[in-house]
Amino acid sequence: MIPDLSLGLTSRARLVGRPRWGRRIQHNCELFETNATVVVKVLKAAQRRKWDASDDELFYAEPRFVQHLDEAFRQRLTRLYRERLPAEAVVLDLMSSWVSHLPEEVAYASVIGHGLNDKELAANPRLQRHWVQNLNQDQLLPLDDASVDATLIVAGWQYLQYPEAVAAELLRITRPGGQLIVAFSNRMFYTKAPQIWADGGDRDHLAYVTEVLIAQGWPTPTVIAETTRAAGWTGLVGAKGDPFFAVIATKPA
């Protein structure tokens, strides 16, 4: 949680990002300080609320060995990773499960996993190590400054109540030139998504992730928004798969 340590610093900020559909983001900024980083607040308290306010650890107490996204989405995601992640990379799969969607043929320098269910993470064959941490309780990541080349968040950002603090931490742990890839589709555990996500559409989600990243000092991200073709014969006759969205930010070298 972002501690309520308002420094009384309020400034107007015109953010440089311009989402593809042309709406310029402009908002009042309040600055907060956590132990490690200065965080620029983007969300109002009401936007952080979710229908199910119980501890997220209860929701994830039992492992779910299921795929949260369809094959078409997963294939698109793996292709993106193949294109963007060099083999020598130290990769952090934040908000992970028993699968990481990384290309099987690439052996990365290391893949570190994080999530909320230890059994799922222990079953993930790509992870060299992992830890469990509720990011809605504590956003400080137990990783050194500039120690990670690429952080991946798949179908996870939509559950963050304090994404500003997580984004600031990710900037801290990313090496210069390193990347953050936030990927998602149009589905969610509705009761566990904060209002900002639950009430928004796909374009809102892309603009929101972009806004939070820019507010914490990430350069203007690249946005991908694509339809997918369903895997198998249904795709051949025109059936669509899960839509694919990604926000990709690169820390300046």
Tracing tokens 């203007």 back to the chain, one arrives at: 220
3-class secondary-structure state, position 230: coil
Verify binding: residue 151, ligand SAM, rule CB under 6 A: no
Tracing tokens 């953010």 back to the chain, one arrives at: 15
Instruction: Using the rule CB under 6 A, give the single segment among 43-51, 130-138, 166-174, 201-209 that binds ligand SAM.
Output: 130-138
Q: How many CB atoms lie within 10 A of CB 76?
A: 23
Verify binding: residue 212, ligand SAM, rule CB under 6 A: no
Q: What does the alpha-carbon distance between residue 197 and residue 179 come to, in Å, rounded to a whole number?
A: 23
Q: Give the containing element (helix H, strand E) for 150.
A: strand 148-154
Torsion region of 32: left, alpha or beta (phi above 0 gives left; psi -120 to 50 gives alpha): beta
Q: Whole-number minimum distance, CB 155 to ligand SAM, in Å?
A: 4
Residues binding ligand SAM: number (CB under 6 A): 16
Q: Which of 37, 39, 56, 174 binds ligand SAM (CB under 6 A)?
A: 56
Instruction: Using the rule CB under 6 A, give the single segment among 28-36, 103-111, 128-136, 245-253 that binds ligand SAM.
Output: 128-136
Q: What does the alpha-carbon distance between residue 80 and residue 72 come to, in Å, rounded to a whole number?
A: 13
Verify binding: residue 113, ligand SAM, rule CB under 6 A: no
Q: Which of 34, 97, 151, 216 binds ligand SAM (CB under 6 A)?
A: 97
Q: Whole-number minimum distance, CB 191 to ligand SAM, in Å?
A: 12
Tracing tokens 């990365």 back to the chain, one arrives at: 108
User: What are the residues binding ligand SAM (CB under 6 A)?
Assistant: 56, 60, 68, 95-97, 99, 115-116, 134-136, 154-156, 159
